[in-house]
Structure 1
Amino acid sequence: MTFKPLLEEKPANKPIIIAGPCSAETEEQVLTTARALAGKGVDLFRSGIWKPRTRPGAFEGIGTEGLGWLRKVKEEAGLKVTTEVANTQHVFEALKHQIDVLWLGARTTVNPFSVQEVADALKGVDIPVLIKNPINPDFKLWVGAIERIYKAGITRIGVIHRGFSYHGETKYRNVPRWQLAIDLKREFPDLPIICDNSHICGRRDILQTVAQKALDLNFDGYMTEVHPDPDNAWSDAAQQITPAQFLEMKEQLIFRQPTTDNMEFLENLEHLRHEIDELDEEMLNLLSNRMRLAERIGEYKQRNNIAILQSSRWNEILERAVTKGKLKGLSEEFVTVYLKAVHQESINHQEKVMNQPRAEA
């Protein structure tokens, strides 16, 4: 797939900045926000018109009436506008009101039937489309949504990384799982990727930290929910900030360049990367040796009819490694994820050995 620039007039060395309220509530609220952002480097003014909610009874958007308010944003504030669509009627209404960019939400991306319906409605239309990641960390589902929109003839496509649902304790509303976004960037290097720091965070105090991490990872921009009175917003109040707070955050964020032609930098970087490559090869050799030891353990367990998983031993390994890892500057999260992967591979090797037919005496 070959993608055209998402915003044709946007320089490649500048971040794409999207801001605006979670939901269009009133005409005054929308225009007040837009006027505060006008002329401040915002590329797209966002606002939800139709809002898919988890449970009935919550505010599900103002509906088509709000599209007229977005047209006024274009006329009065001079900002391009974007909103979410989830079906054929949404697409037709948005196009009729001259919305500049459409986006598919996480609850739409998760359903190939819904994505295909939007794709069919867009055939023959030249408009940029942003695609949020599905609610669950399903990489192929995200790629499938991109492919469906692309096959409809849309080539100005971008994706929005808004984090993924997670059952358990976490500081995020939706955990970032940065590696999935990195994998997508690796597969589609020219596909713009925008960080939706509002939906990842679900709270105001870490919005800047998450946006900066995304820019450090070579994301192409960020999308933040901005409201003139966040505490009284009709939806997602806890993650919205005022225009003044947004502009302060915007000024403090640092946009990283993907590369440079500075030869001294490139030579030093190449030298350090070579050292990393050597260490990686050494670690792979050590892991290979570890698996051979696991296979020998599997042989002993097979002879004595002992179960593979020894919970007390596994807990001991994990606790010891986390403690030692902290002393070496490694986070508990990294050590845990790494060791779980190593442990699972060890189990796989032991299973292979233990399920082989026993040699005849």
Structure 2
Amino acid sequence: MKLNLNIQPLSSWMKVSSEPLIISGPCSAETEEQLLATAHLVKNTGKVSVLRAGIWKPRTRPGEFEGIGSIGLQWLKRAKEETGLPTAVEVATAKHVEEALAAGVDILWIGARSTVNPFTVQEIADALQGADVPVMVKNPINPDLALWIGALERINRAGITKLAAIHRGFSSFEKSAYRNEPMWDLAIHLKTLAPELPILNDPSHICGTRDLIPYISQQALDLDMQGLMIESHIDPSVAWTDAKQQVTPAALTEIVNNLTIRKADSSNPEFTDKLQGLRDSIDRIDDQILQKLGERMALVEKIGEYKRDNDVTILQVNRWEEILEKRTALASALKLEKDFTEKVLELIHGESIRKQTEIMNAKTELN
């Protein structure tokens, strides 16, 4: 089911100096000198279309630097006057919205910590009533697509039609190479539900370290995201916030120059015909997979009935371990990734448990 969003195409409200859209600037505006110097350097790259800077910084724990505050808006205004770059800041309260708009900020974004709270999003939406300003909504901290969609809908219903989403990854208890797990499937799902919605990627917050930014940036563009928000600082080693994930303007230039820009589609008839043939083959295989899953679940129901009639528990740990061992070995031989195989098997096993539970509960209700 498609989302019913009333939004304008990105090209109608954003003049892009180069492809893709690059939003860059320091994680935090620290001093006027630091912000202006960084602004001029990112402008000189010729790659940046929008200057960003954190003015109010919601930190995880108190006592850390929580942003320079409203005075930073005047620094940002001066940076805009000197460089000609439109500006963007994060807003988390109605007061932030009012002050940012009064200072002439061009684009507002809602951060992950705000998106997770519908009360906060609604407060921001109410403050935006009647404003003609682009708003970008980052995904919530936790992997909840409904929260992300809800935030976009609230802002859209406030009359904001210049709307975009920012994919910045999701928090996870599992340790990995990333600060926030990309969980690309959620961003792809959003794109499927709202094809007209511009989606940008924030590799800085996904990576948490500058070394991974080129890789994630390329992956985002390969998934047809329309731009990148990359944090850039004149000297990241002395940055007051998120020093490890910021890059110098020179490094930013190198990252963008090394990106491969791919087309969303091709007008070459030969390419189109061959691609369609391959897709037709995939469709046939998908049909076969679903048919086999249906046959498997029919057998699962018979097993559930047999267990019910013999008063045997649903979960058989030894059997599950046997399935995992045998199937992952086969998958490895077929050159399928272990993590992928385990996720597929866990989904199938979970559905099998659900079906057998229904059968057991049906007997209990009849008794």
Instruction: Give the aligned partner of residue 35 of structure 2.
Output: 30
Instruction: Supply the distance in 2 between the matched residues of 1:331 and 1:135 (Cα, whole angstroms).
Output: 27
Instruction: Give the aligned partner of residue 203 of structure 1.
Output: 209
Instruction: Supply the distance in 1 between the matched residues of 2:245 and 2:332 (Cα, whole angstroms).
Output: 32
Q: Does 1:4 align with 2:12?
A: no
Instruction: Supply the distance in 2 between the matched residues of 1:121 and 1:97 (Cα, whole angstroms).
Output: 15
Q: Does 1:64 align with 2:76?
A: no
Instruction: Supply the distance in 2 between the matched residues of 1:58 and 1:339 (Cα, whole angstroms).
Output: 44
Conserved? CA contact 1:226–1:243, under 8 Å: yes
For structure 1, list consecutive stretches of 5 or more residues without a partner in the other structure: none
Instruction: Supply the distance in 2 between the matched residues of 1:9 and 1:23 (Cα, whole angstroms).
Output: 23
Instruction: Supply the distance in 2 between the matched residues of 1:35 and 1:162 (Cα, whole angstroms).
Output: 26
Instruction: Give the aligned partner of residue 194 of structure 1.
Output: 200
Deviation at 1:179, TM superposition (A): 1.0
Q: Does 1:318 align with 2:318?
A: no
Conserved? CA contact 2:191–2:197, under 8 Å: yes
Q: Does 1:128 align with 2:134?
A: yes
Q: Does 1:18 align with 2:48?
A: no
Instruction: Give the aligned partner of residue 295 of structure 2.
Output: 289
The alignment's C-alpha RMSD in Å is: 1.7
Q: Does 1:97 align with 2:103?
A: yes
Deviation at 1:212, TM superposition (A): 0.8
Q: Does 1:277 align with 2:279?
A: no
**Deviating more after overlay: 311-320 vs 248-257:** 311-320
| Structure 2 residue identity aligned to 1:346 | S
Instruction: Supply the distance in 2 between the matched residues of 1:217 and 1:5 (Cα, whole angstroms).
Output: 18
Q: Does 1:49 align with 2:55?
A: yes
Deviation at 1:9, TM superposition (A): 4.7
Out of 161, 164, 167, the residue aligned to residue 170 of structure 2 is 164
Determine helix, strand or coil for the equivalent of 1:63.
Answer: coil
Instruction: Give the aligned partner of residue 335 of structure 2.
Output: 329
Determine helix, strand or coil for the equivalent of 2:228.
Answer: strand
Q: How many pairs does the alignment contain?
A: 359
Conserved? CA contact 2:22–2:49, under 8 Å: yes
For structure 2, list consecutive stretches of 5 or more residues without a partner in the other structure: none
- Identical-pair percentage: 51
Determine helix, strand or coil for the equivalent of 2:87.
Answer: strand
| Structure 2 residue identity aligned to 1:318 | L
Deviation at 1:320, TM superposition (A): 2.8
**CA deviation map 1:15-58 (0-9, x unaligned):** 21111111111111111211111141211111100000111011
**CA deviation map 1:33-86 (0-9, x unaligned):** 111111412111111000001110111000011111111211112211100001
Deviation at 1:336, TM superposition (A): 1.3
Deviation at 1:279, TM superposition (A): 0.1
TM-score (norm 1): 0.95
Instruction: Supply the distance in 2 between the matched residues of 1:243 and 1:178 (Cα, whole angstroms).
Output: 27
Determine helix, strand or coil for the equivalent of 2:22.
Answer: strand
Conserved? CA contact 2:18–2:49, under 8 Å: no
